[in-house]
Structure 1
């Protein structure tokens, strides 16, 4: 199947958070905090580190850290490989943190959805909304 770059879809979510970038960064990179808002994981903040995200539904995502700029950028692969090729998802998630006068502007982009992956794209749009809601709760609870 030939898919051109222009056909690849992304999910983008942006939030203004009333917390400094250092605190948001911790929630994005500390395994027990990641588990509270995203999924069980064996994440380590090192380029090339391969890790798994274990979903409540039993699915497992294979991930690899692609980029790290402390308190600024975190990027990793987000691959869900399935026996059914229509449900294979090979994507990249990138978080960008920008300091603001009142805290942090957080931008998340998950790119790599093929045109026929409308269900996965829709699931990601609603899923990231839920994840961000939990992230905001974790940030208010964290020390």
Structure 2
């Protein structure tokens, strides 16, 4: 039985939009907070996330960049299980006085075990992204 995903994570990151955007789009930095992937910041680019198989995850996720509006929005198609259609992951950045409001959403439907992995995984990845951006001063 598929369960809806309605993940929304908001973080205020004390870094410039350019720094946070670089952490989202540079493969060397993506590998530090997420997975080592062959990412390219352009619509239509496809890449695969690979890791150890776990309950609720087959060990890989097929991703396609659906939309990219540098440096404020990126949308992925996120196919992490054969039991459900791909979900949609959206990253948005909003510049504020002295920080960036980072919002990650993930919508779709997945098996319950996958849902639990996504809930904890995205929260962990967002925290790691925040720490990485705050420790790097990229322009």
TM class, shorter-length: 0.7 to 0.9
TM-score by length of 1: 0.83
Unaligned runs of 5+ in 1: none
Structure 2 unaligned segments of length 5 or more: list them. Answer: 54-58
Change (3 A) 1:32 1:89: farther
1:69 aligns with 2:69: yes
TM-score (norm 2): 0.85
Are 2:113 and 1:141 equivalent residues in the alignment? no
Identify the structure with bigger relative contact order (alpha carbons < 8 Å, sequence gap 6+): 2
2:45 counterpart residue number: 49
Partner of 2:124: 130
> Could you tell me which residue of structure 2 aligns to residue 35 of structure 1?
31
Moved segments of 4+, more than 2 Å: 140-143
Report deviation, 1:17. 0.6
Say which of 78, 86, 97 aligns to 1:90.
86
| Cα distance in 2 for residues equivalent to 1:124 and 1:80 | 10
Aligned mates of 1:76, 1:13 — CA distance in 2: 16
Root-mean-square deviation (CA, aligned residues, Å) is: 2.0
